[in-house]
Structure 1
């Protein structure tokens, strides 16, 4: 009989869900608003989807924050701070009709990495990292096909790196290398409202406006520093760049050029690609986890 897995990707605004067959074919998918003012309501919303199914083999959950995948506890639940300290798996099970159903949970950035291992651009490697560029800088590290969690499950917080202390003090990669940082830099330089600028707009101008190209190159230097530091630290076979801006074909050559400006890159160079998955990466990473435990 065909196996079925229910997967959730929990975000600050919406919870996306999908039921997958064992070959990753989507049987059904949808989303609902994230309601966390009342924790009981949050878990009831999740359980409602599961309780409508009678033949699930396992549940996989992609969740923000510092997540202990062994126990299901959220030391910190990211933007969903109302759930800090709760055992998310145990809480969900109290609302399930089938309390014996296997449930596994993992940090959302780690799920993005596992999605690439499942059926993306990391299927052929065992050691790799994912760096996501968006509102902030996130990521995950996989060594010997296992996520590196680190002490208190805080590994992979690339966005907190300090990379230019003398010039920017304690400004982190969130402040310097995220897509939001690029948008802010562009808006300040062009004297535009930040809300009127998008990453897509900037990348569209990069080959036609010299000022824009200079700004993008400056920003790409910080992205390259993050990639270089990861390569020096972990020696991955491949580093994948994710986030909406990574879907632009112009990005990878710009980052490669920035890396080649680093004198020692040739000694620590690894394969650099973009992620295959974007909007569904959390769901697919949760699927990978669910398949592993069942």
Structure 2
């Protein structure tokens, strides 16, 4: 059976795995993402692939999930957030010396592909994937394929504006979907409001225990998340909207969104299913491999 070197590159860690064509993990590890500069990320990728090939000579390709807007045909990265070494690079050309087939895809698109292959979107021909974490990302799966858009920028849901009052640069700084509804910003808001530093887990424990002041802020963020999803629902009219990221594991968020959607007076709102992503932390690896297998 063929094996593949698969990596999910993040701002903090690089998840690395050797996987077979059924999506089963043979071995895996997590390595801190190197500091940006001097192409350190490419040095790390090369070292992982060389090691994988030495241990598993059957390695037949490299599949990458990256936090960037990427042209999936040539691997050109036009925009990247935390892993800035990727910006302006042509990943496939940069790693051509590995002399194995290489495929690269955006991390949110990989999350969507993971749900299509092995998750809650197996039966859907069209769905959106909204990923919630430090910011808000997304993927658009229409007509049985990912919609990439110009320079791979389709699905940047976090840049959607949820307010119309103010100058444009100020709106993006204060009222983008990522700014008003991401997990990181909710925790930051709570810490500032109560003048204390707590983790997300600690804040949600207070919320679950019925703290009314905490509930006001948490549910304000839940409501803004619902607004963004309702906007997306009417733009794309998909069969499903999948919510991913650590927060999606909380059933109360999904229930809250469903309750808000139920109030929307349009026929389409009653037809679209809101569900949590199933694949969790493995989504980047699974989706990257699925993308590779679709190409080869």
Structure 1: unaligned runs, 5 residues or longer: none
**Distance in 1 separating the partners of 2:206 and 2:265:** 31
- How large is the Cα RMSD of the aligned pairs? 2.0
Alignment of 1:115-130 (within 5 A): 115-130=114-129
Match of 1:49 in 2: 48
Q: Larger helix proportion, structure 1 or 2?
A: 2
> Deviation at 1:213?
2.7
Match of 1:79 in 2: 82
Judged with a 3 Å threshold, the aligned counterparts in structure 2 of structure 1 residues 240 and 207 are, in CA distance, closer, same or farther, namely farther
**Does residue 99 of structure 2 align to residue 88 of structure 1?**
no
Match of 2:265 in 1: 264
Contact 1:220 / 1:258 at 8 angstroms: preserved in 2? no
Match of 1:34 in 2: 33
Contact 1:183 / 1:199 at 8 angstroms: preserved in 2? no
**Distance in 2 separating the partners of 1:242 and 1:265:** 25
* 3-state SS in 1 of match to 2:281: coil
**Distance in 2 separating the partners of 1:141 and 1:293:** 19
Count of matched residue positions in the alignment of Structure 1 and Structure 2: 285
Q: TM-score with structure 1 length normalisation?
A: 0.90
Match of 1:286 in 2: 288
Structure 2: unaligned runs, 5 residues or longer: none
Match of 2:240 in 1: 238
Which deviates more, 110-119 or 163-172?
Answer: 163-172
Per-residue CA distance 1:160-214 (angstroms, 9 max, x = gap): 111122389442111111112222333344x133x31415632652462233333
Contact 1:20 / 1:26 at 8 angstroms: preserved in 2? yes
* 3-state SS in 2 of match to 1:280: helix
Match of 1:164 in 2: 163
Contact 2:244 / 2:276 at 8 angstroms: preserved in 1? yes
